């Protein structure tokens, strides 16, 4: 969903419509906005006196139980996401089972990354950490 129009633009457009005898179409064209947006803004300004955009609502909530997922990763951090998803789905009730992509997104949101193992094709799931010192721009010391 795109971000809302600025309040200053909304106020100017509503004031221009209210203070003139021009149609919605003319005012909307002048401000490069849709006619429907201007109509809604004017109606809202008349009804409530407010023009500011309403807060965003709704959204989506992940079905993954992070405590269970973190416990399973701590038990064996070298699981692939397929293996982790199978173990997770066995650990939760049937109504809470999830797809591998949901597990992967939950791990990424929690700060986990997938590191390749130097000794084979297995991966390891580890938390990311901020570096303790800024990188050197001049290279290694002589």
CATH annotation of 66-127: 1.10.10
Spatial separation of the C-alpha atoms in residues 43 and 18, rounded to whole Å:
11
pTM (global) more than 0.75: no
Question: Could you identify the residue written with the tokens 């399973």?
Answer: 72
Per-residue pLDDT tens, the chain, 142 aa: give them: 678 999 999 999 999 999 999 999 999 999 999 999 999 999 999 999 999 998 888 888 889 999 999 999 999 988 888 999 999 999 999 989 999 999 999 999 998 887 665 555 555 566 665 555 565 555 555 5
Instruction: Round to whole Å and give the CA distance between 45 and 36.
Output: 14
- The whole-angstrom separation of Cα 34 and Cα 37 is 5
Domain ranges of the chain: 7-48, 66-127
| Residue 27 exposed, middle or buried by CB count within 10 Å (0-12, 13-18, 19+) | buried
Q: What HEC string does 5-41 produce?
A: CCHHHHHHHHHHHHCCCCCHHHHHHHHCCCHHHHHHH
d(CA 108, CA 37): 37
Residue owning tokens 């965003």: 56
């Amino acid at each position: 969903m795109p971000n809302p129009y600025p309040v200053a633009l909304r106020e100017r457009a509503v004031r221009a419509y209210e203070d003139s005898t021009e149609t919605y179409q003319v005012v909307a064209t002048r401000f490069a906005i849709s006619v429907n947006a201007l109509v809604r803004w004017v109606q809202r300004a008349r009804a409530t006196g407010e023009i500011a955009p309403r807060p965003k609502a709704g959204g989506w909530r992940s079905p993954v139980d992070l405590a269970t997922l973190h416990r399973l990763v701590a038990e064996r951090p070298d699981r692939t996401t397929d293996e982790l998803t199978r173990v997770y789905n066995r650990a939760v009730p049937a109504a809470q089972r999830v797809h591998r992509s949901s597990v992967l997104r939950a791990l990424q949101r929690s700060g986990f990354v997938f590191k390749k193992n130097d000794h084979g094709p297995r991966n390891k799931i580890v938390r990311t950490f901020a570096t303790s010192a800024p990188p050197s721009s001049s290279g290694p010391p002589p």
